[in-house]
Structure 1
Amino acid sequence: MIVDFHTHIFPPLFRKERERFFFREPGFKLLYDQPKSTLIGAGDLLRQMDEEGIQRSVVFGFPWERVDHFRRHNDYILESVHRYPDRLSGFGCFSPLSSRAAMEAERCLEQGLCGIGELAVYHEGSMNRAFRQLGELAALCSRHEAILLLHTNEPVGKSYPGKAPAGLGEFYTLIREHPTTRFVLAHWGGGLFFYALMKKEVRETLRNTWFDTAASPFLYVPDIYKIAGGIIGFEKILFGSDFPLLKPGRYFSEMDSAGIPGEVLRMIKGENGARLLKLPL
């Protein structure tokens, strides 16, 4: 089984008239202002899954700030998951800065979604409030036995749209304060896994944390698979494509070039994700 743990789909109106949704949504405008920034629907994703031999994908939307936007988008995720229950697993998404964040998370989880994410804040000046609310959401996910997937990125190197201002220390503190919550840190957790090499505390703190590979071909050389697996264990790595940003085949080629053994490839490509989603293998 191949499980893609990180994909984005959008309702028809959002795809056809994206400019309508730029108002009071600086994060969306930042990432999707250019026509080449592709928006797809569930049908597009399923066709790509069939082409790439992917059995299941985790789908989510965008961390909208406006309530009407994130409710409409999450309704589409719910509709898609209920329509294709054997192919799609859904997460609810919204801005962690929203005063309705916890209420929307409850709604999504009670209606059948299995996690919350990919949550992100793309502008500076609001991170303290964002992490206070993320703490509430982490506790809520623990109560529901749901997964919390967070956008993270490396704190150094080239700047690009979507490189968020939050530091790894804030994410580490959040994880440490919520040891029963299952976290997935997108984009290799910005390299947070490296600190599991420390002798005290960190490895135990990260015991309930997984790292997805989203955007890896844009960010890291293929050696990261072996290096990360050697530090945190290959069982903690989840294949996530960030489709439609990148096609899954690009990742599979890099995994092959990294010289990863077949049994480890099976873990990364699907077995780890299936276990986290509590799916039969």
Structure 2
Amino acid sequence: MNNKIIDAHVHIYPSEFEEDWDLIAKREPWFDRLTKSKVHKWGTAEDLIESMDKNNIAASFVTGFAFKDQGLCRISNDYILSAAKRFPDRIKALSVVSPNEPGASDEIARCAAEGAIGIGEIFPDGQSFDITDNRETWRLVNSCREHDLFLMIHTAEQAGHDYEGKGKVGANEAAKFCCNHPGIKVIFAHFGGGLWAYEGMPEMKLILSNTYYDTAAMPWLYSEKVLDSIFALGIGHKILFGSDWPILDFPRYEQLLNLTKLKDEEKLMLLYKNAAALCNEIS
């Protein structure tokens, strides 16, 4: 693909999160649970760049951990914003806030001024944030729109086996969010928990007109046929390759991609063009 790959779902962590794990875990139950998971891996900015070079990835949308504590979110944001300045053509910063905690709007404004391109990955379960309740979501959405930022929200399929980090937010909750806020550009992680399938309904297609979906964790959840189905439904321009690095990396997805019936141009949309267009960097 001639280096035409953008990974739209990546996590990195400052070293102090690993070093001070016990102190943070006592304050953040979901951090405790997720970082104890057998699939969890730590990754720094330098680790990410090394992996990107190895896998021929041009740029990545990079976020941290969705803490409930706003101060920890700021520490994560500082690290990622700094990394984006050190690797300006490679790392595109997403900043995370705790939406219901004081200071969320100010932190969004600060991060936007420092070069963030989006806010997320918001984790509703871990941050006690109800994305179906307009009384909770309007401030977050308005702040993002004010600063021309997109949102990324964690979702998961509400069927199949349970696993750490799955959460209770799926297609129904994501659809309600979009009904309340059809104007905000939003990426629903992990295929939106199946929300993409509702784009076949004319009324939902309109409501979901600013909605995108990423492929994060696909090798653990879906066959390659889901990608064929998304393009067959006519929404191939709305799917973004996201690896969920460092827990998964590109080769696992490449194996699935090679099994699809997608044309080369469709693969380029998935791997590069859609994400580039979202952050206005299409070349």
* Structure 2 match to 1:266: 268
* Structure 2 match to 1:205: 207
> Contact between 1:8 and 1:61, CA under 8 Å: does it hold in 2?
yes
The alpha-carbon distance between structure 1 residues 132 and 29, as it changes in their structure 2 partners (threshold 3 A), is farther
State the distance in 2 between where 1:225 and 1:280 align: 22
Task: Give SS of 2:209's match.
Answer: helix
Q: How high is the TM-score relative to the length of structure 1?
A: 0.94
The alpha-carbon distance between structure 1 residues 126 and 277, as it changes in their structure 2 partners (threshold 3 A), is closer
Count matched residues.
280
> Counterpart amino acid of 1:220?
Y
State the distance in 1 between where 2:174 and 2:114 align: 28
> Counterpart amino acid of 1:145?
D
* Structure 2 match to 1:138: 141
Task: Give SS of 1:195's match.
Answer: helix
Aligned counterpart for 2:239 among listed residues 213, 237, 240? 237
Superposition CA RMSD, Å: 1.9
Q: Does 1:54 align with 2:57?
A: yes
> Contact between 1:148 and 1:182, CA under 8 Å: does it hold in 2?
yes
Cα displacement (A) at 1:12: 1.4
* Structure 1 match to 2:154: 151
The alpha-carbon distance between structure 1 residues 16 and 142, as it changes in their structure 2 partners (threshold 3 A), is same
* Seq. identity, %: 34
State the distance in 1 between where 2:184 and 2:128 align: 26
Q: How high is the TM-score relative to the length of structure 2?
A: 0.93
User: Deviation per CA, 1:150-202, whole angstroms, max 9, x where unpaired?
Assistant: 0011111111101111243232122122222111110000000111112x410
Q: Does 1:122 align with 2:125?
A: yes
Cα displacement (A) at 1:255: 0.7
> Counterpart amino acid of 1:148?
L
Query: How is 1:69-108 mapped onto 2 (pairs within 5 angstroms)?
Result: 69-108=72-111
> Contact between 1:5 and 1:241, CA under 8 Å: does it hold in 2?
yes
Give the unaligned 5+ runs of structure 1.
Answer: none
User: Deviation per CA, 1:71-93, whole angstroms, max 9, x where unpaired?
Assistant: 11110011001111111100111
> Contact between 1:115 and 1:149, CA under 8 Å: does it hold in 2?
yes
Aligned counterpart for 1:28 among listed residues 25, 28, 31? 31
State the distance in 1 between where 2:229 and 2:132 align: 34
The alpha-carbon distance between structure 1 residues 76 and 124, as it changes in their structure 2 partners (threshold 3 A), is closer
Cα displacement (A) at 1:101: 2.1
Cα displacement (A) at 1:126: 5.6
User: Deviation per CA, 1:227-249, whole angstroms, max 9, x where unpaired?
Assistant: 12222421111000000110111
> Counterpart amino acid of 1:67?
Q
User: Deviation per CA, 1:189-229, whole angstroms, max 9, x where unpaired?
Assistant: 0000111112x410011111110000011111110001122
> Counterpart amino acid of 1:278?
N
State the distance in 2 between where 1:268 and 1:22 align: 36
State the distance in 1 between where 2:247 and 2:39 align: 10
The alpha-carbon distance between structure 1 residues 210 and 124, as it changes in their structure 2 partners (threshold 3 A), is closer
Aligned counterpart for 2:253 among listed residues 251, 254, 258? 251
* Structure 1 match to 2:195: 192
